[in-house]
Amino acid sequence: MNSLRKQKVINSALWAAAGDAIGWISELTDESGLQRRINDTYLLKPVSWNRKIGGYSGVTVSLPAGTYSDDTQLRLAVSRSIRSNGEFDTESFAKIELPVWLSYALGAGKATKLAATNLMRKDTNWFSNFYKSNGIDYTNSGGNGTAMRIQPHVWSCKNLSDRKYVASVIKDSLVTHGHLIAVCGALLHADALQYALMNGKPACPTEINGFIDNFTSVPDIIQEIYELNNFWLPNW
């Protein structure tokens, strides 16, 4: 990786975390909600705030300015699961990073937390995480929890133009979310990041339509991955 590419990756990672630190404060709320959270209706920079952690029965904690959410936490977890040769260690991510993450998770979605909990079972692997509990079903889980963590696959890709990160993005997504909407959303995000890193600008609608056309390759790639084709697909 040359110095320019390395700096782009570093900038991408830092801005993603910075955006998370602000976005987490203001997500899913309006001016009145923001007023309750930070005692102001306008947010320009990371600030300290209070957040209830653990749902309705959880505790309210004081978070210092710059605290990031599960999006960045899991982005770092994925980064730790990528080997020095660029290969994604799916087993390490599924059986080590995700279960341990439950002990420090901030702002996580129900599907991701349930997926991580189920992965603690000895008989559950990354390609067999078919959880179902309290109305949450793996095969119907199509949220954006995967799209928020897949950037490291693109950052670590040696040759961005060949899109070899796609298989890793698919495996990463299917560890926690079984609906292909989640997989396609993650791929769209990955291709948008790839485009930005290669061209130094965000993709326009025409290019984004091309990213969407790439979704047609997902079934073939799934069949090329041994664990997914032989174990995951028949059960899915």
Q: What's the longest Cα–Cα distance across the chain?
A: 54
**Which H or E run contains 110?**
helix 110-118
Which residue type, as a one-letter code, is found at position 157? C
Closest to 53 (Cα-Cα) out of 88, 24, 77, 79? 24
Whether residue 177 sits in one domain with residue 79: yes
Chain centroid to CA 149: 2
Closest to 126 (Cα-Cα) out of 81, 82, 80, 93? 93
CATH number, domain with residue 74: 1.10.4080.10
Q: Are 173 and 186 in contact (CB under 8 A)?
A: yes
Mean pLDDT of the chain: 96
Mean pLDDT on 173-190: 98
Model confidence at 1, in pLDDT bands (50, 70, 90)? confident
Whether residue 43 sits in one domain with residue 81: no
Whether residue 82 sits in one domain with residue 189: yes
136-137 and 132-133 strand pairing: antiparallel
Which residue segment(s) compose the domain that 10 sits in? 1-67
Q: Using one digit for the tens of pLDDT, what is the confidence trace for 100-121?
A: 999 999 988 999 999 999 999 9
Whether residue 183 sits in one domain with residue 75: yes
* The token pair that represents 143 in the structure block: 């949220």
pLDDT confidence of residue 107: 87
Domain count, the chain: 2
* The token pair that represents 186 in the structure block: 């993650």
pTM: 0.95
Query: Any idea what DSSP says for residue 232?
Result: I
* The token pair that represents 226 in the structure block: 């041994």
Model confidence at 225, in pLDDT bands (50, 70, 90)? very high
Whether residue 42 sits in one domain with residue 75: no
pLDDT confidence of residue 57: 82
Q: Using one digit for the tens of pLDDT, what is the confidence trace for 116-155?
A: 999 999 999 999 999 999 999 999 999 999 999 999 999 9
Does the annotation flag 70 for ligand binding?
yes
Q: How far apart are CA 29 and CA 43, in angstroms?
A: 12
Whether residue 166 sits in one domain with residue 77: yes
How far apart, in Å, do the first and last CA atoms of the chain sit?
Answer: 38
Whether residue 46 sits in one domain with residue 91: no
pLDDT confidence of residue 233: 98
pLDDT confidence of residue 135: 93
Model confidence at 53, in pLDDT bands (50, 70, 90)? confident
Whether residue 59 sits in one domain with residue 160: no
Q: Which residue has the higher pLDDT, 22 or 54?
A: 22
Model confidence at 229, in pLDDT bands (50, 70, 90)? very high
Judged on CB neighbours under 10 Å (0-12, 13-18, 19+), 209 is: exposed
Does the annotation flag 71 for ligand binding?
yes
Domain end residue (candidates: 12, 37, 67): 67
34: CB partners within 8 A, 6+ apart: 25, 26, 40, 41, 42, 43
Whether residue 73 sits in one domain with residue 61: no
Whether residue 58 sits in one domain with residue 97: no
